[in-house]
Structure 1
Amino acid sequence: MFQVLLAASLLGAVANAYGAPGVGLVPNGDFEKGNEAGDWPVGWAKPKEGGSWQTEGENRFIRLSSTSPGAMIMIYQEIPIPAEVKAIEVKWRHRITGLKKGTSDWFDARIMMEFLDGQRAKVSPGPKVPSFRKDVPEWTEASVQFLVSEGATMLKFMPALFQVESGVWDIDDMSISAVDPEPLRVEAAERAAKAAAAMEKRLAGKRAKASAALQQHGDLIVDGGYTKPPGKKAKNLVDEEGNRYLRLESKEPGKMVLDYREIDLPEGVEALSLGWKQRISDLKKGEKSWYDARILLEFKGADGKVMKGKPAAPYSQRNTEGWVERSTEFLVPKEAASVVIMPALFHVKAGRFELDDFSLKPVDPAVLVAKQKEREERVAKSKVPVEADDQTKWPPMLKVKGNRLVTVDGGKEVWLQGMNVASLEWSVRGEQVHKSIVVGLEQWKGNVIRLPIKEDYWFGKDMGDEGEAYREVVDQAVTLAANRGCYLVLDLHRYRAPKKEHLAFWADAAARYKDHPAVIFDLLNEPHGISWEVWRNGGFVEERKKEGDEDAFLSAEEKLHNKRGFESPGMQAMLDAVRATGAKNLVVVGGLDYAYQLDGIVDGFGLKDEEGNGIIYACHIYPWKKGWQKYLLDAAALHPILLGEVGADAKKMDFMPHEMQEDAETWVPDILGLIQEHRLNWTAWCFHPSASPRMLLNWDYEPTPVWGAPAKEAMSGKAFPMGKLR
């Protein structure tokens, strides 16, 4: 970088209200005085290539010569702008020969200029950029004038042959001077007024046309948006049995396939309802989680520029069974002149996205405004101040003693009672995770949180930060629990059998929370569909022949991945991966049949843990599970048990026959009585208003009558009598 210094004496003598008109801001603008080496004019930066100092008769000038097609030949200067200078004129003589533009229209001969402020940030608007695309065979004078933008203290000045194919640019008598800003201000104001009037006229015409279309057709999109004159070809449109619709098809993995249409809006539209039909087939998501089939939406102002703030893009990540109807509603900014609708296969690996019968109609904004206000209030209420670790408040480290959990120091028994705070297994940001932890521990009197997480998010799959933000959310969850003297069970929320990628997760997570007294490791959410031998020691897990219960909660890609056969390292290897880090933390290990059956543990398939604080065996129990004595209580007589998931809903689950499920009204009191009778550790499912069996009616943490309320009472000390076994 070369900075041209302004000689104070040049301006001091003639400064006035707008600077020093005619006085140069750069020295040696005629390029006559050379540097010590005698090869370049003093005070001017030399290009890295393609620059020379030429002589014709008694005249000296700078020559920029293209060295190769596409090369950037540029002089880079930084020129301080005195505070009193409000307008600048750049004047020069030049000659251009053999100029051929580059591969883009703006690859030509030009003087690029930008303003910088005192912190070297770019200031807008920038100066007008003079550019030349044709030869100027004889020496010719040129000039440009511009106002100095507010806050600008420096002018970046860059004459350049900008990636041209070829050409020579001779430059001489360069003058950069302060000028009277008033004529430029008047001219700019007149130009702006004229442009504003023209823009207003165009906008009024578009709004009138849109209003007429709405009046005539009752819709801002006529005939679904895909009519065309007979025989005329239209991009992405297909005809099928007399029906014309849009078809987007991915023919190259990762490539964006998009349709663009801009719809003008009538005056006074505050909210819109967009409806359409869609059919999706052979869809395979792209490398990132949001690379799917979606409709991108944005607004444009009267100036034609995209506005800040966009409606949420409705998206689909699964195939549909034929045509399905979809819709979305959104508020419209007052300044919006049009809405842009862009159906897209957004960088998918493969797929076909077909759309038809688009409709765009104004709607009453009141409901949307109320929902937006409710969301904003909920977000504000959900915020929890970030806490630093306070080890003076942390709970004691636990270990196994017989079939109980006791403190490492002192041997005092601890009975874990709490809830699952879900959402980090399906959302990288989570849904009120931290707020729920605080409410669950402080208001519901729990002393443990089970936190389901996902290894893909932990390692940052499909994320630009390699999972750092996700891990920080988990870190803060640990801190919030620990600072309240409570525990957190870190649940790897996966199914079926351990996989190699799960070993990598536990090696990383166990090292991160090694010997943290509040953290307990739940190695795998719900094993199922394998033998006890494979469960413990590993082996080949065959391709699944039928759907599993978890398919109701998985994406199409996850279901396919979960179905395939694979070599499992087994649960002992998972435990060994934790202990290899040196972490002694308690581990939770779920049995078979979706972590319900623990009879295999009684029969000799328990894990070995010679280096840690011991194993808690997990049982997930719901109203359709029978055989409590065989599958749960026999193991509970020998080992500590965590009912890692337990609960019932007034509305029975749809992924299994309703007649298999006991009514919550009879089941809930008996399961709570069982828990209390045998002092079983438990984390209720689920402290979320949308994850059934739900404990919450809403994000005000109002308990559901059939499950949330009794569970809350049990955690607060209410006794439930032991009922009959199932």
Structure 2
Amino acid sequence: MRAPPRLYALAAAAALALAGTALVPAAAATAASAPATTTAPAAAGPAGAPSKRLAPEAAPPKLRASGNKLVDETGATRRLLGVNRSGGEFMCVQGRGIFDGPVDDASVKAIADWKVNTVRIPLNEECWLGLSHINPAYGGANYIAAVKALVARLEAHGITPVVELHWTHGRYTGGDSHCPDTEYATCQKPMPDAQYTPAFWTSVARTFGNDQAVVFDLFNEPFPDRATSDLTAAWKCWRDGGSCPGIDFPVAGMQTLLNAVRATGAKNLVLIPGVAYSNDLRQWLTYKPNDPAGNLAAAWHGYNFNTCASESCFDQQLAPVIAQVPFVAGEIGENTCSHGYIDRVMAWLDAKGASYLGWTWNTWDCSSGPSLISDYNGTPTNFGVGLRDHLKGMQ
């Protein structure tokens, strides 16, 4: 899911839908606030199995992959069920703050009240690393501190934080280019860059590596397949990086980023997306990176306007992956301001015991991009009602 800058957000809507990913309008910023002091229960276990919920004041579990399931320290099966909290990927690089809207205790409690057990936090590598063109008020140490504070608030509510790299450096002028006039991390790029992304993940892993309740999501929505018509070359680029066909900058592949994480000693669960904006996982198992920690999950994004948006496609393309590794739908949504599509997706994933996170917990117009809420008290949009009621009904 992309979060385009305000100046071209509305004009880009139709193009983004054709490209295979949803529009995210930008909104006003609010800085981080005080740490949380309350907790909320976690969401249900796989369909057909007993649920294991967090007791009040319980910390989120330390997750690991076991076969094709996620389990906690006791070996109990867990699922990641929740929402995305967009803002950290675009506010800082636009010079407007760090998060889009409040991330104080009250706002986190509102998320928890939906019976959410996981929140995915999109980030910007230039802001995390504090590059010179980023306002220091919103970058470097200040940015890292704000992210750490949000992670702490989520954990205080028993919620699993997923820290995810959304926007990255590198000028890209090929197919599906979204900001060809700049190398800065102001839009979604087809692949991570070798110049900064390994350093980003080294720093993130050192920051959160002692807390295995934090999940790492390596890169939002790769699309090397839009840069070349050679699908095999695209998947090799995805895994190995280097000089990739159609991409203007040196690429850091998924293996390189995973190596950067593991070199710090961090054993956290790592999510690795597919290609085609994370909608295509057909060769994920073939090109799966090697993980010495054995703690990987496949990540998929599903929207009503994607190519793989039907149960028949899910059965053909996703089921073989789900049979072998843990599976997390890191983003699900639709641009209809309704919930018919995600109702079907959640039902299919429930039957497989897989995980899913709705896009997004931001107060945008749900007809121009999938927005779950109309205010930060948790009032759902017509789209958000579907996710809220489904999660609450799983108790």
Partner residue of 1:609?
291
Correspondent of 1:439 among 110, 123, 130: 110
Q: Quick one: which amino acid aligns to residue 197 of structure 2? A: H
Give the CA deviation at 1:634: 1.6
Distance in 2, matches of 1:476 and 1:482, equals: 10
1:403 matches 2:73: no
Gaps of 5+ in 2: 12-27, 40-56, 93-97, 168-188, 226-233
Distance in 2, matches of 1:444 and 1:614, equals: 28
SS in 2 for 1:650: coil
1:482 matches 2:155: yes
Distance in 1, matches of 2:298 and 2:159, equals: 20
Distance in 2, matches of 1:617 and 1:401, equals: 13
* Distance change in 2, residues 1:433/1:636 (3 Å): same
Question: Please, what TM-score do these two structures have when normalized by structure 1?
Answer: 0.40
Give the CA deviation at 1:389: 12
- Normalized per residue, the structure richer in strand is 1
* Distance change in 2, residues 1:316/1:699 (3 Å): closer
SS in 1 for 2:78: coil
SS in 2 for 1:524: coil
Conserved 8 A contact 1:538-1:567: yes
Distance in 1, matches of 2:360 and 2:83, equals: 7
SS in 2 for 1:639: coil
SS in 1 for 2:284: helix
1:690 matches 2:355: no
Partner residue of 1:704?
381
* Distance change in 2, residues 1:615/1:383 (3 Å): closer
Q: Quick one: which amino acid aligns to residue 650 of structure 1? A: T
Partner residue of 1:716?
392
Distance in 2, matches of 1:447 and 1:411, equals: 18
Correspondent of 1:497 among 191, 198, 211: 191
Distance in 1, matches of 2:205 and 2:37, equals: 20
Give the CA deviation at 1:395: 2.2
Distance in 1, matches of 2:60 and 2:378, equals: 25
Distance in 2, matches of 1:316 and 1:697, equals: 19
Distance in 1, matches of 2:61 and 2:339, equals: 37
Distance in 2, matches of 1:537 and 1:600, equals: 14
Give the CA deviation at 1:613: 5.0
1:471 matches 2:139: no
Distance in 2, matches of 1:609 and 1:449, equals: 24
Partner residue of 1:308?
none
SS in 2 for 1:458: helix
1:591 matches 2:274: yes
* Distance change in 2, residues 1:718/1:400 (3 Å): closer
* Distance change in 2, residues 1:512/1:671 (3 Å): same
Partner residue of 1:534?
237
Give the CA deviation at 1:631: 2.7
Give the CA deviation at 1:426: 1.1
Which segments of structure 1 move beyond 6 Å, counting only runs of 4 or more?
A: 315-318
SS in 1 for 2:363: coil
Q: Quick one: which amino acid aligns to residue 114 of structure 2? A: W
Question: Please, what TM-score do these two structures have when normalized by structure 2?
Answer: 0.72
Give the CA deviation at 1:433: 2.9
Correspondent of 2:250 among 563, 567, 586: 567
Give the CA deviation at 1:633: 1.8
Partner residue of 1:579?
262
Conserved 8 A contact 2:81-2:357: yes
Equivalent residues in 2 for 1:421-432 (5 A)?
Answer: 421-428=85-92, 429-430=98-99, 431-432=101-102
Gaps of 5+ in 1: 1-314, 322-374, 544-563, 652-663, 720-726
Equivalent residues in 2 for 1:158-177 (5 A)?
Answer: none
Distance in 1, matches of 2:334 and 2:7, equals: 30
Partner residue of 1:650?
336
1:116-167, Cα deviation, whole Å (9 max, x unpaired): xxxxxxxxxxxxxxxxxxxxxxxxxxxxxxxxxxxxxxxxxxxxxxxxxxxx
Conserved 8 A contact 2:224-2:237: no
Equivalent residues in 2 for 1:105-504 (5 A)?
Answer: 385-387=34-36, 393-407=58-72, 409-428=73-92, 429-430=98-99, 431-434=101-104, 435-441=106-112, 443-461=113-131, 462-464=134-136, 467-494=140-167, 495-500=189-194, 501-504=196-199
* Distance change in 2, residues 1:497/1:316 (3 Å): closer
